[in-house]
Homo-oligomer: A and B are copies of this chain.
């Protein structure tokens, strides 16, 4: 056992996970390795990437017991992809998989069954909500879940700490060679910022879509040079789901009061001046802050340089009204934002590494003036719990 920065005992080693390093401080950890490189493969002229079913894609990738598969959560509670793929994998009798998702929520409750049947034995994720979270908390898995921040997941993927054998990525449209985005097609989710990491680093990449379009489908968020296989299904998700889950425009008077106070703190901080930058995390109170800040910005003629992170219709309004120069968008929290990213070049799609990876040559979070994030518990030393 070692002690971390706040004196909590941390095991030195966990079976099936490996050695642990106790947390010291935000920038204490000095990277010493090289970036992970996925297996080089080639696709020759005439070779088709289009397959008939998810089952065929699983077989073609050679997925087998013990491997790691990954998913993104841009559809949030509207996601159909995880359950479709896991059902197909279970039918093929593959066991002992690690599921490395950028987040998991209520709709992924069927994973409980796959864990009980031994199809899934390990989870690495950023968020974990709903019945699955409840069962995991009660001890469903022998190996503890690895929870990383979104930027931390990008760091782990780039360093090879999280090695993905096959990424199954839902995209709202793609051409037959894999140029894909999340803002055109019948089931849109907007930014594919988290999925862009998996597309670049997974050994094999399978796109799942319900909308095939003409080649070349550019500009694209995921590029053909990163895609092995493409499967067309009836529907990959319900776009309405992206603004449920953690994200809604709150009418709760307590949340609105918190937001109002937060806005006052920001005003008093001295950071609210021309060219400032800001991020608002998910959660009703957090997102409501933008509304209060906006009044002050108009009043004092203050224009921001950028809003970062999860983007909502409120941030899009700021962009369209000239109150912020740019949006740096790693995920969209509602359909207004999901549409805007495909229409306005100043609404720019970034990957999770650009967003918040502490171990690249400089992430956008480094340049933030103000961040509003939801917390479940804060102690009087400002240690924050966002997990339980």
Residues of A within 8 A of B (CB): 27, 30-45, 47, 49, 158-160, 177-178, 205, 214-216, 218-219, 223-228, 275, 305-306, 325-326, 328, 345-346, 348, 350, 353-354, 357-364, 366-367
Contacts and interface: CB of A to CB of B under 8 A. Distances in A.
Contacts of A357: 225
A326 B39 CA distance: 30
A305 B40 contact: no
B348 A219 contact: yes
Contacts of A216: 305-306, 325-326, 328, 348, 364, 367
Contacts of A346: 218
Contact of A40 (B45, B49, B223, B359): B359
23 contacts: A31-B40, A31-B41, A34-B36, A34-B40, A36-B37, A40-B159, A40-B360, A41-B359, A42-B360, A43-B360, A47-B362, A216-B306, A216-B325, A216-B326, A216-B328, A216-B364, A218-B326, A218-B346, A223-B354, A224-B354, A225-B360, A226-B360, A227-B362
Nearest to A218: B348
Contact of A31 (B33, B42, B353, B361): B42
Contacts of A362: 43, 47, 49, 177-178, 224-225, 227
A10 to B, nearest CB: 22
B225 A361 contact: yes
Interface centre among A30, A38, A346, A366 (most CB of B within 10 A): A366
Contacts of A49: 362
Nearest to A308: B216
The 4 closest A-B pairs by CB, nearest first: A35-B37, A43-B362, A31-B40, A218-B348
A98 B363 CA distance: 31
A298 to B, nearest CB: 21
Contacts of A35: 37-40
